[in-house]
Structure 1
């Protein structure tokens, strides 16, 4: 059996949607290392607006999906529980996305305006 070093689909989705892998930890090491990591993180901040845009589009789709599921639950009462579960999942996912967008905006603002 051959081993591959190609990342799986979940790993690729993580890299595409979550920006935290781009940054280094500035809380460990001596003062010089922390300053180098902070400068590195300031250089990497240019990618954060792209991640914010991805999440804004995804959150808009999740919100539309939530409203669609609620409407379908009213239109098709036999499948009410399935559509309610769909609405619940998309609503919670939307909330998580908004929280992540807030985190991305704070990180970008901190790295841009704090010297």
Structure 2
């Protein structure tokens, strides 16, 4: 696999899931079961995003305090902050797959 594809799959989880909104009721039910089974990987993705967000925040802190470049550090702070909404989406999806019985 190409490095670009590996990096995409390492950080983004959309490739794990199937579309449960189209097809026959039997196909939608099979896609829902598949998605519920694949939801077990969402905590792994949450940890990855949380770690990268904390790493970017620490790099921003280092650049601001040691290097003395507040404008450059804002680039790292904002990038690290983007892990928060990403994790929020993953938490909602994970809870939805665990708590809901299906889209029917």
Normalising by the residue count of structure 2, what TM-score does the alignment of the two structures yield?
A: 0.87
Q: For each residue in 1:34-65, what CA deviation from the matched residue of structure 2 results, as whole angstroms up to 9, or x when unmatched?
A: 11101100011111111111111111111111
Computing the radius of gyration from Cα coordinates, the structure with the larger value is 1
- The structure 2 residue matched to 1:84, chosen from 22, 47, 71, is 71
Q: Is the CA contact 1:73–1:84 (under 8 Å) kept in the aligned structure 2?
A: no
- The structure 1 residue matched to 2:45, chosen from 48, 51, 55, is 51
When the two chains are superposed, the root-mean-square deviation of aligned CA atoms in Å is: 1.4
For the pair 1:94 / 2:88, whether they are aligned, the reply is no
For the pair 1:65 / 2:59, whether they are aligned, the reply is yes
The gaps in structure 2 that reach 5 residues or longer are none
What residue number does 1:25 align with? Answer: 19
Return the alpha-carbon distance in structure 2 between the equivalents of residues 114 and 103 of structure 1: 16
Return the alpha-carbon distance in structure 2 between the equivalents of residues 68 and 103 of structure 1: 29
Q: Is the CA contact 2:53–2:82 (under 8 Å) kept in the aligned structure 1?
A: no
Return the alpha-carbon distance in structure 1 between the equivalents of residues 4 and 62 of structure 2: 27
Segments of 4+ moved more than 6 angstroms: none
Pairs aligned (count):
101
Residue 59 of structure 1 aligns to a residue in which SS?
Answer: helix
Normalising by the residue count of structure 1, what TM-score does the alignment of the two structures yield?
A: 0.80
